[in-house]
Amino acid sequence: MDVAGGLAAAFRAKGRVATVAVTGMAFHKPVLVGDIVACHSAIERVGTTSITMHVEVWVQRGGGGATGRFKVTEGVFTYVALDDAGRKRPVPPA
């Protein structure tokens, strides 16, 4: 989940980011061996130097189909944009 959110945050920040907080984790159902896992992320907020992402994990189970796909976990991840020296920097405009 952190990687999925971090990739999207880095794309929006146009550079490196680091995870600074994970809040609001909810585990709805277990992930089982054989499940096909997909992570989806969406920007919740862009601050001066930070980006907050909502990340969901969905699985496809039992051969697929509409009844075999459901959300198992979700959480809110906050990332800070970093410069080349590893210091926080402003997130550029969209």
Is this prediction's pTM over 0.85? yes
pLDDT (tens digit per residue) in 20-38: 999 989 999 999 998 999 9
The answer to the question of residue 53 being in a domain is: yes
Question: What CATH number did the domain enclosing 54 receive?
Answer: 3.10.129.10
Tally of structural domains, the chain: 1
| Domain extent for 75 | 2-81
Structure tokens at 78: 């906050």
Residues 32 and 76: their CA atoms lie apart, in Å, by: 23
Give the C-alpha distances (Å, rounded to integers) separating 67 from 6, 72, 86: 30, 14, 45
Q: What are phi and psi of 4, to 5 degrees?
A: -60, -45
Q: What percent of the chain has a predicted confidence (pLDDT) above 70? A: 95
User: 3-class DSSP state for residue 19?
Assistant: strand
Provide the pLDDT for residue 58. 97
The answer to the question of residue 58 being in a domain is: yes
